[in-house]
A and B are shown apart, each in its own frame.
Chain A
Amino acid sequence: MKLALKAIGHSFLGRAVFEDFDLTLGNGEIIALLGPSGCGKTTILQIAAGLIAPLRGRVERAYRRHAVVFQEPRLLPWQTTCGNIAYGLAASGMDRVERAARAAAQARAVGLAPEDLDKYPVELSGGMRQRVSVARALAVEPDVVLFDEPFTAVDVGLRRALQDLVIAAAEAQSFSALFVTHDLGEAVRVADRLVLLSGEDGRVLARRTMQGRRGTRSDRAIFEMVEAWSREPAFAELFDPRRPA
């Protein structure tokens, strides 16, 4: 076990977002947290990241350090790619030379060119910025990575490449991950298990385990899982065009 959320509940201004939510993240496991917008999945991720304290329940952590890949890249505009990737390393007190070397290696690992290292975020495309954001998270060699709908703003082809990058990195660095998304296909592709939340009251509608090892599932297998599950009533909310935004 790496991370356990036990009976956590949270409310904003007295309105409960979710109650009694349980989740246990195992060693090397990737769990997708799925649900329509406004179901509280980002709140759960923020609680897991320690950014907000849950009003009820407790969080148990059995790891050294975690990292977050946010929905927006959240890069420091006044730092170069190198400085941004090394941000977490600098915060943990690594010296400048070692930091730069590690950032360069990590940049290459996420598919950035060496000349991008000296560029500022304004000079990078949206996809490259998200690559930098992924590299920043992976550079600290985290035990747990929290992804908050990281690839919603990038185009389909690039999304696939970035998903593959996450799958490969999880294999190489053997971290556990919580992957928040509202895309069932993405969840089935990158995760081992999925937890589906209701958009109405934040309760858990379904917990599923995906067949096969992540990264080795064929497009056809993924498509069939998505196809089969999307016909179930529990998943209907994800595809309901009339639900409030």
Chain B
Amino acid sequence: MPSEEAALSLSYRQGSRPLRTGAGALIRSGRAAAWLGRYVWSGWAGLAGLFCLAAAWQAGHELYGSFILPAPGETIAVAWQILHAPEFAGIAATTAERALTGFALAAGIGTLAGVVAGYSFAAMRILKPIVTVTLGVPPIAWIVLALIWFGSGNGSAVMTVVLASMPISFAGALEGVATRDRSLDAMARVFGASPLRRFRTVTLPHLLSYMFAAWTTTIGSAWKVTVMAELLSNTGGVGSELATARAVFDIPAVTAWILITVGFALISDYAILHPLREAVERWRSAGLPWGVKR
């Protein structure tokens, strides 16, 4: 570098460092606020869709009556009562613990195994058919097996969640690593990046876009399978409440519990996974027209 240019870059370094950190913090907090505003505002579109669904539900209620399909309003009233009952916290905690433990195990093991398989052609060839087979086994079959193996308790519900939803994370991770951009990897090698840095800067950001899609499905299926396992094994939690409501033909309670379960799934998706995704994948929205930004 010639002395003139070196002097220039030096003056730039000295001159703008304090300015950059001060202004940078301000810009960053401004951006974060704008992002939060946009995220909350985007909820209106989601609400509009939900109200359309509620209208169709109401129409079904008018046609078939309360015994077959309780009205949305009635369901919400019952759900409100359930939410305020003293035993609700315990019931919800039981199911949430099972579902989230199952999700953490399924996502953790599935992602890790998928990444390893994605790097190794031999592992990919061997594990892919196994995943296809495990995905083909209905979750209800896993529950029956888990009940035989572990008896009724926390273990069988968590086990069922793990077995039923791990292949989704696994397949996502495998696909993500296998489809990484090898030309970018070559670029990184030319510039002397270590294997760890190459994974972090080249493969991981690409992998994450696959993982968020897989994790969304995994967490949704974790709630569904947990409730199903609880219903069949009668081991407490939301599933048991659903079984009791069914036994006494308390249809509004059934729909209320369904509503609450869906609420749990929505909260875990929109309060945990979506903000995380938005934060990590800001680069993706940079090139999108504003209408597509969520």
Contact = CB atoms under 8 A, between A and B. Distances in A.
B205 A78 contact: yes
B44 interface: no
Interface stretch (A63-71, A178-186, A198-206): A63-71
Main secondary structure of the interface of B (DSSP, over half): helix
A74 B197 contact: no
Contacts of A100: 20
A79 B201 CA distance: 9
Interface of A: 49-51, 65-68, 70, 72, 74, 76-79, 87-88, 90-92, 97-98, 100-102, 104-105, 109, 119-120, 122-123, 136, 140-141, 172-173
Interface in B176-219: 183-184, 186-194, 197, 201-202, 205
B290 to A, nearest CB: 14
A109 B191 contact: no
A49 B192 CA distance: 11
Contacts, number: 78
B9 A51 contact: no
A123 B283 CA distance: 10
A137 to B, nearest CB: 8
Contact of A87 (B201, B205, B286): B201
B87 interface: no
B286 A91 contact: no
Contact of B283 (A101, A104, A120, A141): A120
Contact of A67 (B20, B191, B287): B191
B283 A68 contact: no
28 contacts: A49-B190, A50-B189, A51-B190, A65-B192, A67-B190, A67-B191, A68-B187, A74-B183, A74-B187, A76-B201, A76-B202, A77-B205, A77-B283, A78-B284, A91-B191, A91-B194, A92-B192, A101-B9, A101-B12, A105-B5, A105-B8, A119-B286, A120-B286, A122-B283, A123-B286, A140-B191, A141-B1, A172-B5
B243 to A, nearest CB: 47
B84 interface: no
A122 B281 CA distance: 13
A71 to B, nearest CB: 10
Given A76-B184, A105-B8, A123 B192 contact: no
Contacts of B9: 101-102, 104-105
A172 B186 contact: no
Contacts of B283: 77-79, 120, 122
B13 A68 contact: no
Given A77-B283, A78-B283, A120-B286, A173 B1 contact: yes
B279 to A, nearest CB: 12
Contact of B12 (A66, A88, A105): A105
B49 interface: no
